[in-house]
Structure 1
Amino acid sequence: MVQQKEQVVPEGAEESQATAPGAVEESRATASPVHGLRWAIKTSFVAYVARMQDGRAHLGNGVAVNERNELIFPLEEDAASVAETFAFGGDVRFVGHFGMLSVHIALPRVVVRAGGRGELTVLDPASRDGGRLRLVTFDLTGRRTEGGIEEWHATDVRLAPEGVELFGDVYEAGEPFAPLTITVPRPERPEHPGRPEGNHG
């Protein structure tokens, strides 16, 4: 649990920047997956962890770091065919303050609603049966198609009420988090995330 508040950053001031490199412990030699969720979480939070003498970000189960210091959670291909739902593997655990700080983000899943609104859920660390909690909400804005992939950009990423406790009640609901990018195989069907169901015809 986070028991010391980080320095407050003006709304939206840092969240387009990359993850602070000093907190990430895993080697960058890990090959980045072609498809996945690219997300810097929250730049000021990661920088806060990096400033701690014992602050670390432990990456596991296929999570990589790109040249922008964004975390890349690999796409779970078996779940990619579920309409408007994208599941990702891997996890990251931020630790510091001699164990007093521990933030675990595991197996993120993105669900996109009609109109381009979406949410990202993660495993609930307090659940004993694999329950999930909504971590952030976002607006899906840009789309880029190249070769056999589609890339989706999400902005206005905000902490959901359910995610407040995960960060030790340091942030209030609605706190800005880093933009995120989703890269998936290009579907054969004409539908795409965020398209209203009534317009599929």
Structure 2
Amino acid sequence: MTASGAGELRWAVRESLLGYVTRIARGTCEVSGGASEGDGGVFAFPLRSAVQEGPDWRLSFAGSVRLQAHHGLMDILIADPEIVVGPDGGVLATHLADQPDGLLAVVALDAAEAEADAADLTWTGVPTHLAPAAVDLFGTVYPAGEEMAPIEMRITIDS
């Protein structure tokens, strides 16, 4: 089963981080490539593709969010996020050129079942925790396993 390309990922990364970057450190938050920032610092990334692999879904989204502060010493980039999610959990990864396979696992997702209606699959309030590989991405401020903002995803299913 595949999706039609309609859908999105919504994620606020971490509320305290966004507040720190934009208000305390007087840094910047830049969205590009189709991503957008909504109320409360929730970022939306449009769906590029979705493929079901057994009970899991592999979801690819477009756009990027870059948080910068301290004259570039803090530089967090979430680019073209990819998610694998299923009943046993999952992972959200970002595309980064300096990674061996081009992807860096950012957060682990708790087990998540999609809710279905006539046209869409929706995951809401999926808890996330910082992946060990992303501790350096966040400037070693948060330890591995630290709770991050929950995510929600919606995809429209082809008939």
Identity %: 30
Letter in 1 for 2:27: G
SS of residue paired to 2:108: strand
CA distance in 2, matches of 1:35, 1:103: 24
Q: TM-score, normalised by structure 1?
A: 0.68
What is aligned with 1:178?
149
Instruction: Check conservation: 1:140, 1:153, Cα contact below 8 A.
Output: no
Bigger radius of gyration among the two: 1
Are positions 1:96 and 2:66 aligned together? no
Runs of 4+ in 1 over 6 A off after TM superposition: none
What is aligned with 1:81?
51
In the TM superposition, what whole-angstrom CA distance separates every residue of 1:124-147 from its partner, at most 9, and x where no partner exists? 3523x7611111011244643344
Task: Identify unmatched segments of 5+ residues in structure 1.
Answer: 1-32, 189-201
CA drift of 1:171 comes to 1.0
Aligned length: 152
Letter in 1 for 2:30: H
Q: TM-score, normalised by structure 2?
A: 0.84
Instruction: Check conservation: 1:135, 1:162, Cα contact below 8 A.
Output: yes
CA distance in 2, matches of 1:37, 1:164: 22
Higher strand share goes to which structure? 2
Letter in 1 for 2:93: T
Q: Within 5 A, what are the aligned runs for 1:114-133?
A: 115-127=87-99, 131-133=102-104
CA distance in 1, matches of 2:98, 2:157: 36
CA drift of 1:165 comes to 0.8
Task: Identify unmatched segments of 5+ residues in structure 2.
Answer: none
SS of residue paired to 2:41: coil
Letter in 1 for 2:44: I
What RMSD over aligned residues (CA atoms) do the two structures have, in Å? Answer: 2.2
